[in-house]
Structure 1
Protein backbone atom coordinates (compact mmCIF):
# COMPACT_ATOMS: atom_id res chain seq x y z
CA UNK A 1 0.00 0.00 0.00
CA UNK A 2 1.24 3.47 -0.84
CA UNK A 3 2.28 5.92 1.88
CA UNK A 4 -0.54 8.28 0.95
CA UNK A 5 -3.26 5.67 1.52
CA UNK A 6 -1.57 4.56 4.73
CA UNK A 7 -1.57 8.11 6.03
CA UNK A 8 -5.23 8.63 5.05
CA UNK A 9 -6.20 5.33 6.63
CA UNK A 10 -4.21 6.10 9.77
CA UNK A 11 -5.75 9.57 10.19
CA UNK A 12 -9.29 8.28 9.66
CA UNK A 13 -8.70 5.37 12.03
CA UNK A 14 -7.28 7.69 14.72
CA UNK A 15 -10.19 10.14 14.38
CA UNK A 16 -12.65 7.29 14.46
CA UNK A 17 -11.21 5.80 17.65
CA UNK A 18 -11.05 9.29 19.20
CA UNK A 19 -14.73 9.71 18.47
CA UNK A 20 -15.44 6.25 19.90
CA UNK A 21 -13.51 7.07 23.07
CA UNK A 22 -15.34 10.40 23.49
CA UNK A 23 -18.67 8.71 22.86
CA UNK A 24 -17.94 6.00 25.39
CA UNK A 25 -16.86 8.51 28.02
CA UNK A 26 -20.01 10.56 27.53
CA UNK A 27 -22.68 7.97 26.91
CA UNK A 28 -21.65 4.71 28.53
CA UNK A 29 -22.07 4.01 32.22
CA UNK A 30 -18.93 2.10 33.21
CA UNK A 31 -20.14 1.53 36.77
CA UNK A 32 -22.11 -1.47 35.60
CA UNK A 33 -20.05 -4.50 34.48
CA UNK A 34 -20.44 -5.63 30.85
CA UNK A 35 -21.24 -9.16 29.94
CA UNK A 36 -19.12 -10.99 27.38
CA UNK A 37 -21.97 -10.80 24.90
CA UNK A 38 -22.27 -7.04 25.31
CA UNK A 39 -18.50 -6.62 25.08
CA UNK A 40 -18.39 -8.69 21.89
CA UNK A 41 -21.19 -6.67 20.34
CA UNK A 42 -19.45 -3.43 21.33
CA UNK A 43 -16.08 -4.46 19.88
CA UNK A 44 -17.73 -5.74 16.70
CA UNK A 45 -19.59 -2.48 16.26
CA UNK A 46 -16.51 -0.40 17.08
CA UNK A 47 -13.95 -2.23 14.94
CA UNK A 48 -16.23 -3.25 12.03
CA UNK A 49 -16.13 0.15 10.26
CA UNK A 50 -12.33 0.33 10.69
CA UNK A 51 -11.90 -3.12 9.18
CA UNK A 52 -14.17 -2.20 6.29
CA UNK A 53 -12.23 1.05 5.77
CA UNK A 54 -8.92 -0.80 5.53
CA UNK A 55 -10.50 -3.40 3.27
CA UNK A 56 -11.57 -0.63 0.90
CA UNK A 57 -8.13 1.00 1.06
CA UNK A 58 -6.42 -2.32 0.28
CA UNK A 59 -8.80 -2.89 -2.63
CA UNK A 60 -8.09 0.59 -4.02
CA UNK A 61 -4.35 -0.01 -3.68
CA UNK A 62 -4.61 -3.37 -5.45
CA UNK A 63 -6.58 -1.76 -8.29
CA UNK A 64 -3.89 0.89 -8.65
CA UNK A 65 -1.13 -1.74 -8.57
CA UNK A 66 -3.00 -3.77 -11.18
CA UNK A 67 -3.31 -0.71 -13.43
CA UNK A 68 0.37 0.09 -13.00
CA UNK A 69 1.27 -3.51 -13.82
CA UNK A 70 -1.03 -3.48 -16.84
CA UNK A 71 0.50 -0.22 -18.10
CA UNK A 72 3.99 -1.64 -17.58
CA UNK A 73 3.02 -4.77 -19.51
CA UNK A 74 1.64 -2.66 -22.37
CA UNK A 75 4.84 -0.58 -22.37
CA UNK A 76 6.97 -3.73 -22.44
CA UNK A 77 4.87 -5.06 -25.31
CA UNK A 78 5.42 -1.85 -27.29
CA UNK A 79 9.14 -1.91 -26.54
CA UNK A 80 9.29 -5.53 -27.65
CA UNK A 81 7.43 -4.68 -30.87
CA UNK A 82 9.78 -1.79 -31.60
CA UNK A 83 12.75 -4.02 -30.81
CA UNK A 84 11.47 -6.67 -33.24
CA UNK A 85 10.93 -4.02 -35.91
CA UNK A 86 14.44 -2.67 -35.37
CA UNK A 87 15.92 -6.16 -35.52
CA UNK A 88 13.97 -6.80 -38.72
CA UNK A 89 15.31 -3.58 -40.24
CA UNK A 90 18.85 -4.47 -39.13
CA UNK A 91 18.49 -7.99 -40.56
CA UNK A 92 17.19 -6.59 -43.87
CA UNK A 93 20.04 -4.07 -43.98
CA UNK A 94 22.55 -6.83 -43.24
CA UNK A 95 21.02 -8.96 -46.00
CA UNK A 96 21.22 -6.07 -48.46
CA UNK A 97 24.82 -5.36 -47.47
CA UNK A 98 25.72 -9.04 -47.84
CA UNK A 99 23.94 -9.19 -51.21
CA UNK A 100 25.73 -6.04 -52.38
CA UNK A 101 29.06 -7.45 -51.19
CA UNK A 102 28.43 -10.70 -53.07
CA UNK A 103 27.42 -8.82 -56.21
CA UNK A 104 30.48 -6.56 -55.92
CA UNK A 105 32.70 -9.60 -55.46
CA UNK A 106 31.14 -11.28 -58.51
CA UNK A 107 31.65 -8.10 -60.52
CA UNK A 108 35.27 -7.90 -59.37
CA UNK A 109 35.83 -11.55 -60.27
CA UNK A 110 34.18 -11.05 -63.67
CA UNK A 111 36.24 -7.92 -64.26
CA UNK A 112 39.42 -9.75 -63.27
CA UNK A 113 38.50 -12.65 -65.56
CA UNK A 114 37.84 -10.18 -68.38
CA UNK A 115 41.22 -8.53 -67.88
CA UNK A 116 42.98 -11.90 -68.07
CA UNK A 117 41.26 -12.93 -71.28
CA UNK A 118 42.33 -12.35 -74.83
CA UNK A 119 39.67 -10.88 -77.10
CA UNK A 120 39.94 -11.97 -80.70
CA UNK A 121 38.35 -10.21 -83.61
CA UNK A 122 38.07 -12.25 -86.80
CA UNK A 123 38.33 -10.18 -89.97
CA UNK A 124 37.71 -11.80 -93.35
CA UNK A 125 39.35 -10.61 -96.56
CA UNK A 126 36.77 -8.77 -98.69
CA UNK A 127 37.44 -11.03 -101.67
CA UNK A 128 36.45 -14.68 -101.80
CA UNK A 129 37.55 -17.10 -104.49
CA UNK A 130 37.08 -20.65 -105.65
CA UNK A 131 40.26 -22.61 -104.97
CA UNK A 132 39.01 -25.71 -106.74
CA UNK A 133 35.57 -26.59 -107.97
CA UNK A 134 33.39 -26.67 -104.85
CA UNK A 135 36.16 -25.34 -102.59
CA UNK A 136 35.74 -21.76 -101.32
CA UNK A 137 38.82 -19.86 -100.19
CA UNK A 138 39.64 -16.59 -98.41
CA UNK A 139 41.98 -15.23 -95.75
CA UNK A 140 41.14 -14.72 -92.08
CA UNK A 141 42.91 -12.25 -89.82
CA UNK A 142 42.83 -12.97 -86.08
CA UNK A 143 43.41 -9.72 -84.18
CA UNK A 144 43.89 -9.83 -80.41
CA UNK A 145 42.19 -6.84 -78.73
CA UNK A 146 42.52 -8.29 -75.23
CA UNK A 147 45.36 -9.62 -73.11
CA UNK A 148 48.30 -11.67 -74.43
CA UNK A 149 47.54 -15.18 -75.66
CA UNK A 150 49.89 -18.09 -76.34
CA UNK A 151 49.49 -21.49 -77.97
CA UNK A 152 46.66 -20.11 -80.11
CA UNK A 153 44.95 -22.88 -82.06
CA UNK A 154 42.02 -22.64 -84.52
CA UNK A 155 39.73 -25.67 -84.53
CA UNK A 156 36.88 -26.21 -87.02
CA UNK A 157 33.81 -28.43 -86.63
CA UNK A 158 33.37 -30.21 -88.99
CA UNK A 159 37.08 -30.38 -89.67
CA UNK A 160 38.43 -28.63 -92.79
CA UNK A 161 41.60 -29.21 -94.79
CA UNK A 162 44.76 -28.09 -93.01
CA UNK A 163 43.04 -27.64 -89.64
CA UNK A 164 43.66 -27.14 -86.84
CA UNK A 165 45.68 -23.98 -87.44
CA UNK A 166 48.48 -23.34 -84.96
CA UNK A 167 49.12 -19.60 -84.69
CA UNK A 168 51.47 -19.63 -81.69
CA UNK A 169 51.54 -16.43 -79.63
CA UNK A 170 49.42 -13.39 -80.42
CA UNK A 171 50.12 -10.54 -78.03
CA UNK A 172 47.81 -7.64 -77.22
CA UNK A 173 47.22 -5.52 -80.34
CA UNK A 174 48.88 -8.04 -82.65
CA UNK A 175 47.22 -10.01 -85.44
CA UNK A 176 47.95 -12.99 -87.67
CA UNK A 177 46.49 -13.88 -91.05
CA UNK A 178 45.88 -17.43 -92.19
CA UNK A 179 44.39 -18.82 -95.43
CA UNK A 180 41.00 -20.46 -95.11
CA UNK A 181 39.30 -22.83 -97.53
CA UNK A 182 36.34 -25.15 -97.08
CA UNK A 183 33.79 -27.27 -98.87
CA UNK A 184 31.28 -26.91 -96.01
CA UNK A 185 28.42 -24.70 -97.16
CA UNK A 186 26.07 -25.02 -94.22
CA UNK A 187 26.53 -23.51 -90.74
CA UNK A 188 29.69 -24.73 -88.99
CA UNK A 189 31.67 -23.90 -85.86
CA UNK A 190 35.10 -22.42 -85.25
CA UNK A 191 36.89 -22.41 -81.90
CA UNK A 192 39.83 -20.17 -80.99
CA UNK A 193 41.62 -22.00 -78.19
CA UNK A 194 44.50 -20.34 -76.34
CA UNK A 195 46.42 -20.10 -73.06
CA UNK A 196 45.96 -16.88 -71.09
CA UNK A 197 48.55 -14.89 -69.17
CA UNK A 198 47.51 -16.75 -66.00
CA UNK A 199 48.21 -20.15 -67.57
CA UNK A 200 44.52 -21.04 -67.90
CA UNK A 201 43.24 -22.48 -71.18
CA UNK A 202 40.30 -20.56 -72.64
CA UNK A 203 38.23 -20.60 -75.82
CA UNK A 204 36.17 -18.27 -77.98
CA UNK A 205 33.52 -19.70 -80.29
CA UNK A 206 32.21 -18.59 -83.67
CA UNK A 207 29.63 -19.80 -86.15
CA UNK A 208 30.35 -19.39 -89.85
CA UNK A 209 28.35 -19.94 -93.03
CA UNK A 210 29.64 -20.35 -96.60
CA UNK A 211 27.47 -19.32 -99.53
CA UNK A 212 28.25 -21.08 -102.86
CA UNK A 213 27.00 -18.41 -105.26
CA UNK A 214 28.07 -15.73 -104.99
CA UNK A 215 30.97 -16.99 -102.92
CA UNK A 216 30.86 -15.53 -99.42
CA UNK A 217 31.86 -16.48 -95.88
CA UNK A 218 30.28 -14.86 -92.84
CA UNK A 219 31.43 -15.26 -89.22
CA UNK A 220 29.39 -14.56 -86.11
CA UNK A 221 30.73 -14.72 -82.57
CA UNK A 222 28.77 -16.68 -80.00
CA UNK A 223 27.87 -14.61 -76.90
CA UNK A 224 28.62 -13.90 -74.20
CA UNK A 225 32.09 -12.43 -74.61
CA UNK A 226 32.09 -10.44 -71.37
CA UNK A 227 30.02 -11.45 -68.30
Structure 2
Protein backbone atom coordinates (compact mmCIF):
# COMPACT_ATOMS: atom_id res chain seq x y z
CA UNK A 1 0.00 0.00 0.00
CA UNK A 2 1.42 3.37 -1.00
CA UNK A 3 1.77 6.26 1.40
CA UNK A 4 -1.06 8.20 -0.30
CA UNK A 5 -3.43 5.27 -0.09
CA UNK A 6 -2.52 4.72 3.57
CA UNK A 7 -3.05 8.39 4.33
CA UNK A 8 -6.42 8.36 2.53
CA UNK A 9 -7.48 5.26 4.47
CA UNK A 10 -6.45 6.79 7.82
CA UNK A 11 -8.25 10.05 7.07
CA UNK A 12 -11.39 8.17 6.12
CA UNK A 13 -11.19 5.98 9.25
CA UNK A 14 -10.61 9.04 11.45
CA UNK A 15 -13.74 10.72 10.06
CA UNK A 16 -15.88 7.62 10.36
CA UNK A 17 -14.56 6.40 13.76
CA UNK A 18 -12.95 9.35 15.57
CA UNK A 19 -13.14 7.82 19.06
CA UNK A 20 -11.35 4.60 18.05
CA UNK A 21 -8.79 6.47 15.97
CA UNK A 22 -7.75 8.90 18.73
CA UNK A 23 -7.87 6.18 21.38
CA UNK A 24 -5.48 4.00 19.39
CA UNK A 25 -3.29 6.99 18.63
CA UNK A 26 -3.12 7.93 22.33
CA UNK A 27 -2.62 4.35 23.53
CA UNK A 28 0.10 3.50 20.99
CA UNK A 29 1.70 6.87 21.65
CA UNK A 30 1.72 6.12 25.39
CA UNK A 31 3.35 2.71 24.83
CA UNK A 32 5.94 4.27 22.54
CA UNK A 33 6.70 6.99 25.11
CA UNK A 34 6.95 4.35 27.85
CA UNK A 35 9.44 2.33 25.77
CA UNK A 36 11.56 5.40 25.03
CA UNK A 37 11.73 6.34 28.73
CA UNK A 38 12.45 2.73 29.70
CA UNK A 39 15.25 2.28 27.18
CA UNK A 40 16.87 5.62 28.07
CA UNK A 41 16.76 5.55 31.86
CA UNK A 42 15.88 2.10 33.13
CA UNK A 43 17.09 -0.50 30.67
CA UNK A 44 20.03 -2.70 31.69
CA UNK A 45 21.77 -3.57 28.44
CA UNK A 46 24.23 -5.90 30.25
CA UNK A 47 21.39 -8.29 31.18
CA UNK A 48 18.66 -8.19 28.53
CA UNK A 49 15.14 -9.45 29.24
CA UNK A 50 14.28 -13.06 28.51
CA UNK A 51 12.12 -13.76 25.50
CA UNK A 52 9.23 -14.98 27.64
CA UNK A 53 9.29 -11.70 29.55
CA UNK A 54 9.25 -9.77 26.26
CA UNK A 55 6.27 -11.84 25.16
CA UNK A 56 4.46 -11.22 28.43
CA UNK A 57 5.12 -7.51 28.06
CA UNK A 58 3.78 -7.40 24.47
CA UNK A 59 0.74 -9.51 25.42
CA UNK A 60 -0.07 -7.21 28.33
CA UNK A 61 0.53 -4.09 26.24
CA UNK A 62 -1.59 -5.09 23.25
CA UNK A 63 -4.33 -7.15 24.92
CA UNK A 64 -6.50 -4.02 25.50
CA UNK A 65 -6.27 -3.33 21.77
CA UNK A 66 -7.30 -6.93 21.02
CA UNK A 67 -10.31 -6.59 23.34
CA UNK A 68 -11.10 -3.23 21.76
CA UNK A 69 -11.17 -4.73 18.27
CA UNK A 70 -13.16 -7.69 19.55
CA UNK A 71 -15.72 -5.26 20.95
CA UNK A 72 -15.69 -3.26 17.71
CA UNK A 73 -16.25 -6.44 15.72
CA UNK A 74 -19.18 -7.32 17.96
CA UNK A 75 -20.59 -3.82 17.51
CA UNK A 76 -20.14 -4.03 13.76
CA UNK A 77 -21.85 -7.43 13.56
CA UNK A 78 -24.68 -6.18 15.77
CA UNK A 79 -25.11 -3.14 13.53
CA UNK A 80 -25.08 -5.33 10.43
CA UNK A 81 -27.70 -7.60 11.99
CA UNK A 82 -29.79 -4.58 12.95
CA UNK A 83 -29.56 -3.24 9.39
CA UNK A 84 -30.50 -6.65 7.99
CA UNK A 85 -33.42 -6.88 10.41
CA UNK A 86 -34.57 -3.39 9.38
CA UNK A 87 -34.26 -4.29 5.70
CA UNK A 88 -36.17 -7.51 6.34
CA UNK A 89 -38.88 -5.57 8.18
CA UNK A 90 -39.15 -3.08 5.33
CA UNK A 91 -39.21 -5.92 2.82
CA UNK A 92 -41.95 -7.65 4.83
CA UNK A 93 -43.97 -4.45 4.97
CA UNK A 94 -43.52 -4.00 1.22
CA UNK A 95 -44.69 -7.58 0.63
CA UNK A 96 -47.67 -7.00 2.91
CA UNK A 97 -48.54 -3.88 0.94
CA UNK A 98 -48.23 -5.85 -2.30
CA UNK A 99 -50.47 -8.58 -0.89
CA UNK A 100 -53.01 -5.98 0.20
CA UNK A 101 -52.88 -4.36 -3.24
CA UNK A 102 -53.31 -7.76 -4.89
CA UNK A 103 -56.28 -8.53 -2.64
CA UNK A 104 -57.80 -5.17 -3.49
CA UNK A 105 -57.16 -5.82 -7.18
CA UNK A 106 -58.80 -9.26 -6.92
CA UNK A 107 -61.79 -7.75 -5.12
CA UNK A 108 -62.07 -5.10 -7.82
CA UNK A 109 -61.86 -7.78 -10.51
CA UNK A 110 -64.57 -9.77 -8.72
CA UNK A 111 -66.71 -6.63 -8.48
CA UNK A 112 -66.14 -5.86 -12.16
CA UNK A 113 -67.01 -9.47 -13.00
CA UNK A 114 -70.22 -9.24 -10.99
CA UNK A 115 -71.08 -5.93 -12.64
CA UNK A 116 -70.45 -7.41 -16.09
CA UNK A 117 -72.45 -10.51 -15.19
CA UNK A 118 -75.31 -8.34 -13.94
CA UNK A 119 -75.19 -6.22 -17.10
CA UNK A 120 -75.19 -9.38 -19.22
CA UNK A 121 -78.17 -10.78 -17.30
CA UNK A 122 -80.01 -7.50 -17.68
CA UNK A 123 -79.31 -7.53 -21.40
CA UNK A 124 -80.57 -11.11 -21.74
CA UNK A 125 -83.63 -10.36 -19.62
CA UNK A 126 -84.39 -7.28 -21.68
CA UNK A 127 -84.25 -9.38 -24.87
CA UNK A 128 -86.23 -12.32 -23.46
CA UNK A 129 -89.47 -13.23 -25.24
CA UNK A 130 -92.53 -13.95 -23.12
CA UNK A 131 -94.46 -16.93 -24.46
CA UNK A 132 -97.86 -18.01 -23.22
CA UNK A 133 -100.10 -20.90 -24.25
CA UNK A 134 -103.77 -21.81 -24.31
CA UNK A 135 -105.59 -24.82 -25.62
CA UNK A 136 -108.86 -26.64 -26.17
CA UNK A 137 -110.01 -30.01 -27.44
CA UNK A 138 -111.42 -30.34 -30.92
CA UNK A 139 -113.61 -33.28 -31.82
CA UNK A 140 -114.28 -33.79 -35.54
CA UNK A 141 -115.57 -36.58 -37.72
CA UNK A 142 -113.15 -39.00 -39.26
CA UNK A 143 -114.67 -41.28 -41.85
CA UNK A 144 -111.54 -43.36 -42.07
CA UNK A 145 -110.81 -43.67 -38.36
CA UNK A 146 -111.77 -46.71 -36.27
CA UNK A 147 -114.20 -44.71 -34.10
CA UNK A 148 -115.42 -42.32 -36.77
CA UNK A 149 -114.14 -39.38 -34.71
CA UNK A 150 -110.92 -37.51 -34.35
CA UNK A 151 -109.82 -35.98 -31.02
CA UNK A 152 -107.15 -33.28 -30.98
CA UNK A 153 -105.63 -30.75 -28.65
CA UNK A 154 -105.72 -27.36 -30.33
CA UNK A 155 -102.86 -25.37 -28.85
CA UNK A 156 -101.98 -21.75 -29.44
CA UNK A 157 -98.64 -20.20 -28.50
CA UNK A 158 -98.38 -16.42 -28.20
CA UNK A 159 -95.22 -14.33 -28.09
CA UNK A 160 -96.50 -11.39 -26.06
CA UNK A 161 -93.36 -9.30 -26.19
CA UNK A 162 -91.38 -7.06 -28.50
CA UNK A 163 -88.56 -9.63 -28.68
CA UNK A 164 -88.17 -12.34 -31.28
CA UNK A 165 -87.82 -15.99 -30.28
CA UNK A 166 -85.35 -17.89 -32.45
CA UNK A 167 -84.84 -21.63 -33.05
CA UNK A 168 -88.15 -22.42 -31.38
CA UNK A 169 -88.92 -26.07 -30.63
CA UNK A 170 -92.49 -27.05 -29.70
CA UNK A 171 -93.04 -30.24 -27.71
CA UNK A 172 -96.72 -31.15 -27.59
CA UNK A 173 -96.46 -34.40 -25.66
CA UNK A 174 -96.53 -36.69 -28.72
CA UNK A 175 -93.95 -38.18 -31.03
CA UNK A 176 -94.35 -35.58 -33.74
CA UNK A 177 -91.12 -33.62 -34.11
CA UNK A 178 -91.76 -30.16 -35.49
CA UNK A 179 -88.90 -28.35 -37.24
CA UNK A 180 -87.24 -25.42 -35.53
CA UNK A 181 -88.94 -22.14 -36.32
CA UNK A 182 -89.11 -18.49 -35.39
CA UNK A 183 -91.82 -16.96 -33.26
CA UNK A 184 -91.73 -13.28 -34.14
CA UNK A 185 -92.55 -10.54 -31.68
CA UNK A 186 -96.25 -10.03 -30.93
CA UNK A 187 -97.16 -13.07 -33.00
CA UNK A 188 -98.74 -16.50 -32.40
CA UNK A 189 -98.73 -20.00 -33.77
CA UNK A 190 -101.53 -22.58 -33.77
CA UNK A 191 -100.64 -26.26 -33.50
CA UNK A 192 -102.56 -29.46 -32.92
CA UNK A 193 -101.78 -32.81 -31.35
CA UNK A 194 -103.98 -35.93 -31.37
CA UNK A 195 -105.15 -37.31 -28.05
CA UNK A 196 -103.66 -40.60 -26.94
CA UNK A 197 -105.82 -43.68 -26.52
CA UNK A 198 -105.86 -43.23 -22.74
CA UNK A 199 -106.81 -39.54 -23.09
CA UNK A 200 -109.64 -40.43 -25.50
CA UNK A 201 -110.95 -43.03 -23.06
CA UNK A 202 -110.96 -40.51 -20.19
CA UNK A 203 -112.48 -37.85 -22.42
CA UNK A 204 -115.36 -40.11 -23.39
CA UNK A 205 -115.94 -41.17 -19.78
CA UNK A 206 -115.67 -37.52 -18.65
CA UNK A 207 -112.69 -38.16 -16.39
CA UNK A 208 -110.16 -35.33 -15.90
CA UNK A 209 -106.71 -35.71 -17.42
CA UNK A 210 -103.73 -33.48 -18.14
CA UNK A 211 -100.76 -33.25 -20.44
CA UNK A 212 -97.49 -31.40 -20.05
CA UNK A 213 -96.07 -29.51 -23.02
CA UNK A 214 -93.19 -27.13 -23.42
CA UNK A 215 -91.48 -24.81 -25.83
CA UNK A 216 -87.80 -24.02 -25.79
CA UNK A 217 -86.27 -21.14 -27.67
CA UNK A 218 -83.36 -18.70 -27.92
CA UNK A 219 -83.35 -14.96 -27.47
CA UNK A 220 -81.56 -12.78 -30.00
CA UNK A 221 -78.26 -13.24 -28.10
CA UNK A 222 -78.41 -17.04 -28.31
CA UNK A 223 -79.33 -17.88 -24.72
CA UNK A 224 -81.77 -20.76 -24.57
CA UNK A 225 -84.88 -20.88 -22.37
CA UNK A 226 -87.61 -23.38 -21.71
CA UNK A 227 -91.27 -22.57 -20.91
CA UNK A 228 -93.37 -25.42 -19.54
CA UNK A 229 -97.19 -25.57 -19.54
CA UNK A 230 -99.75 -28.07 -18.26
CA UNK A 231 -102.99 -28.60 -20.17
CA UNK A 232 -105.73 -29.74 -17.79
CA UNK A 233 -109.00 -31.09 -19.09
CA UNK A 234 -111.92 -31.20 -16.63
CA UNK A 235 -115.66 -31.53 -17.08
CA UNK A 236 -118.34 -29.17 -15.86
CA UNK A 237 -121.92 -30.36 -16.27
CA UNK A 238 -120.71 -32.76 -18.95
CA UNK A 239 -118.93 -30.01 -20.87
CA UNK A 240 -115.13 -30.28 -21.30
CA UNK A 241 -113.10 -27.37 -19.98
CA UNK A 242 -109.39 -27.00 -20.81
CA UNK A 243 -107.19 -24.88 -18.55
CA UNK A 244 -103.56 -24.02 -19.14
CA UNK A 245 -101.21 -23.73 -16.18
CA UNK A 246 -97.91 -21.92 -16.74
CA UNK A 247 -95.24 -23.92 -14.86
CA UNK A 248 -92.58 -21.27 -15.41
CA UNK A 249 -89.57 -20.54 -17.56
CA UNK A 250 -85.98 -21.61 -16.90
CA UNK A 251 -82.65 -21.45 -18.65
CA UNK A 252 -82.27 -24.41 -20.92
CA UNK A 253 -78.91 -25.92 -19.93
CA UNK A 254 -79.16 -29.29 -21.69
CA UNK A 255 -78.99 -29.43 -25.49
CA UNK A 256 -82.22 -30.66 -27.04
Please give the TM-score of this superposition, normalised by the length of structure 1.
0.68
Question: In structure 1, how many angstroms separate the alpha carbons of the residues matched to 2:167 and 2:88?
Answer: 71
**Corresponding residue for 1:33?**
46
For 2:179 and 2:131, the matched residues in 1 are separated by 15
User: Shift of the alpha carbon at 1:57?
Assistant: 1.2
Once residues 45 and 60 of structure 1 are traced to their aligned partners in structure 2, the CA distance between those partners, rounded to angstroms, is 22
- Higher normalized contact order (CA 8 Å, seq sep 6+, divided by chain length): 1
Deviation at 1:154, TM superposition (A): 4.4
Map of 2:77 onto structure 1: 66
Match of 1:224 in 2: 250
**Compared CA separation, residues 12 and 168, structure 1 to 2 (3 A):** closer
The 1:45/1:192 distance shift into structure 2, 3 A limit, reads closer
Matched position secondary structure for 1:73: helix
The CA RMSD over aligned residues, in Å, is 4.1
Once residues 165 and 44 of structure 1 are traced to their aligned partners in structure 2, the CA distance between those partners, rounded to angstroms, is 115
Q: In structure 2, what is the equivalent of residue 158 of structure 1?
A: 174
Gaps of 5+ in 1: none
* Structure 1 position 11, deviation (Å): 0.7
Asked if the contact 2:225–2:249 (Cα under 8 Å) also holds between the matched residues in 1, the reply is no
CA distance in 1, matches of 2:80, 2:68: 18
**Could you tell me which residue of structure 2 aligns to residue 142 of structure 1?**
158
2:229 is the counterpart of 1:207 = yes
CA contact (8 A) 2:214 2:227 kept: yes
Match of residue 7 from structure 1: 22
Give me the TM-score of the superposition, normalised by structure 2: 0.62
Q: Which residue of 1 aligns with 2:125?
A: 114
Give 2:143's aligned residue. Answer: none
| Aligned: 1:91 with 2:91 | no
Give the number of equivalent residue pairs.
214
Q: Post-superposition shift, 1:65?
A: 0.7
Q: Which SS does the other structure have where 1:33 is aligned?
A: coil
User: What's 2:88 paired with?
Assistant: 77
SS in 2 for 1:117: coil
Residue 215 of structure 2 corresponds to 191
Distance 1:203 1:182 in 2: 26
Other structure's SS at 1:222 match? strand
1:192-218 Cα deviation digits (max 9, x unpaired): 557x556x5955421213132342422
Unaligned runs of 5+ in 2: 1-12, 141-148, 200-208
CA deviation after TM superposition for structure 1 residue 188, in Å: 1.2
